[in-house]
Amino acid sequence: MKAFTQACVRFMRRFLPDAFIFVIILTIVVFLAAMKAAGASPLQMAMAWSSGMWGLLAFAMQMALVCVLGTALAKAPIVRGLIEWIASFAKTPAQGVMLTLVVSAVTCFINWGFGLIVGALFGRAVARRIKNVDYPMLIAAAYTGFAVWHGGLSGSIPLSLNAASNLHPEKGMANTGGAVTQLIGTGETILTSWNIIMLIVFVVLATLVFGMSHPEAKDTLVANPKRLQDAVRRYQKPVTPAEKIEDSSFFALIIGMAGFVALFVLFFLKIKVNGVTWGRGMNALDLNTVNFLFLMLGLFLYGSPVRYAHAIADAAANASGIILQFPFYAGIQAMMLFAGGDTGVSLAAVISLFFAEISTAATFPLWTFLSAGVVNFFVPSGGAQWAVQGPIMMPAGLELGVKPSVTAMAIAWGDQWTNMVQPFWALPALGIAGLGARDIMGYCVLGLLVMAVVGCVGFWMVGALGLAAV
């Protein structure tokens, strides 16, 4: 196991390019492949690429906020103290790596942005306490915990199926090709017993594999102590009236409490005001609600508006990769969806239809998972993945008699699966750790292989046991 792991590490460190170069290479590959599949000219494909680069701005803003708000919350004093306390339970390098993966997975299940940052900060805390632990492997374990995100409470595909704003009265739910005509609650997606069981099995197996794979002393890369020191802002006692207002907890508490009241109504009450009903229970859990929750919680925990504003400013740097690369991935999505050439078929359709045509009702969830893993390598955004595959796979699944909720979760799992060797979403954690993608991706191959086994076996059983049948 250790020999295989070190071989993967050496390969990735030698051949994996920077994440931005990676997306440029993917752009060229998809440009050529999509041009061939669609029968399009280079000019047609270039226009599809350039016009599509701005097609995900709203979603990119949501994702940037998830990252920034999650970072700020994870660095709140009370959260940081909790991280240090939990890290103290690890006594050996293997225990440190295993505990990092578990903490990351639990927090990523709650919210992917929060979990990514907590995982990286937790890995740093472990590295400060255990001097002979492999630092890149710690951060890889933190990123591997991210593999549960799309089956968790901030998963963009299941939450989009639960958002009333995405449901058109005539066309049905967005990105489902008319296969979904009413909201699908989280009780049918995220909170199903089979999804929870698959997530637990993955975390247990991945934790054991990482624990057994910690390198020998001769191969261990220990962190530079300077990388492990967190910069902490120092605040002087406010003197002027303006400074006292800025540092006052009054405004933070008032706004925070107002936000918590609104969330309480949204999740636990049903109130009708001027004909509009407020309160949807767990069906209210979507990306905007998650961001609102973390915004209010962060403001409340920092205790003053100016301190929270500074925390957000510090956290904004972690979203730089999203801001730079999202337009390129939006352009890739546009090229994969382009069907204006001589064949009238898009590259996304070619990939998805291939898997759909070889499926039966029992095997469709498995093939959907595998196809989503392939597509995700080129379109790592969950929302973009949904836009690419949803309109094709959702009607195909319904025609075979597969529940739309199962098809959607198979796409979600495929999306989170190949993220393990796709450096895009590792950027926030890498920024905190002070590492590059090639430093951790060799270890992340372990998470990729474990997820492949759990996903394939899990979705095969969902289909074979009839859990996917309409």
Domain residue spans of the chain: 2-464
Distance CA 156, CA 51 (A): 24
Give the confidence band of 284 by pLDDT, cuts at 50, 70, 90.
Answer: low
Amino acid at 262: A
Checking if the pLDDT of 442 tops 90, the result is: yes
Tell me: the pLDDT tens digits for 415-441?
999 999 988 888 888 888 888 889 999
Q: What interhelical angle do 249-268 and 305-315 show, nearest 10?
A: 70
Specify the pLDDT at position 32: 96
Checking if the pLDDT of 278 tops 90, the result is: no
Checking if the pLDDT of 234 tops 80, the result is: no
Residue 467, classed as helix, strand or coil, is coil
Give the confidence band of 100 by pLDDT, cuts at 50, 70, 90.
Answer: very high
Is the backbone of residue 39 left (phi > 0), alpha (psi -120 to 50) or beta? left
Long-range contacts of 185-188 (CB under 8 A, 24+ apart): 185/282, 185/283, 186/153, 186/158, 186/159, 186/162, 186/282, 186/283, 186/285, 187/282, 188/403, 188/405
Q: Which residues pair with 469 in a beta bridge?
A: 402
Q: Of 224, 298, 288, which is closest to residue 256 (Cα–Cα)?
A: 298
Residue 117 in contact with residue 70, Cβ under 8 Å?
A: yes
Distance CA 385, CA 422 (A): 14
Specify the pLDDT at position 173: 92
172-173 vs 271-273, strand pairing mode: unpaired
Distance CA 152, CA 199 (A): 9
pLDDT higher for 354 or 165? 354
Distance CA 466, CA 363 (A): 10
Distance CA 298, CA 133 (A): 32
In the block, residue with structure tokens 């289909």: 463
Q: Which residues pair with 272 in a beta bridge?
A: 277
Give the confidence band of 134 by pLDDT, cuts at 50, 70, 90.
Answer: very high
Residue 163 in contact with residue 286, Cβ under 8 Å?
A: yes
Residue 41 in contact with residue 341, Cβ under 8 Å?
A: yes
Give the confidence band of 275 by pLDDT, cuts at 50, 70, 90.
Answer: low
Q: Of 370, 437, 426, 414, which is closest to residue 104 (Cα–Cα)?
A: 426
Checking if the pLDDT of 267 tops 90, the result is: no
Residue 423 in contact with residue 19, Cβ under 8 Å?
A: yes
Query: What is this structure's pTM?
Result: 0.85
Checking if the pLDDT of 31 tops 90, the result is: yes
Give the confidence band of 285 by pLDDT, cuts at 50, 70, 90.
Answer: low
Distance CA 97, CA 424 (A): 22
- Mean per-residue pLDDT, 70-94: 90
Residue 454 in contact with residue 201, Cβ under 8 Å?
A: yes
Percent of the chain topping pLDDT 70:
96
When mean pLDDT is compared across 27-31, 69-73, 343-347, the lowest value belongs to: 69-73
Helix (H) or strand (E) holding 286: none
- Mean per-residue pLDDT, 256-272: 83
Distance CA 268, CA 260 (A): 12
Tell me: the pLDDT tens digits for 447-456?
999 999 999 9
Give the confidence band of 17 by pLDDT, cuts at 50, 70, 90.
Answer: confident
Residue 404 in contact with residue 179, Cβ under 8 Å?
A: yes
Specify the pLDDT at position 412: 96
Distance CA 323, CA 317 (A): 10
Tell me: the pLDDT tens digits for 333-380?
899 889 899 998 889 889 888 998 899 999 999 999 999 999 888 888
Amino acid at 230: D
For residue 38, CA distances in Å to 173, 348, 439 come to 26, 10, 37
Distance CA 4, CA 92 (A): 22
Tell me: the pLDDT tens digits for 181-211?
999 998 999 999 999 999 999 999 999 999 9
Residue 122: half-sphere exposure toward Cβ, Cα within 13 Å: 37
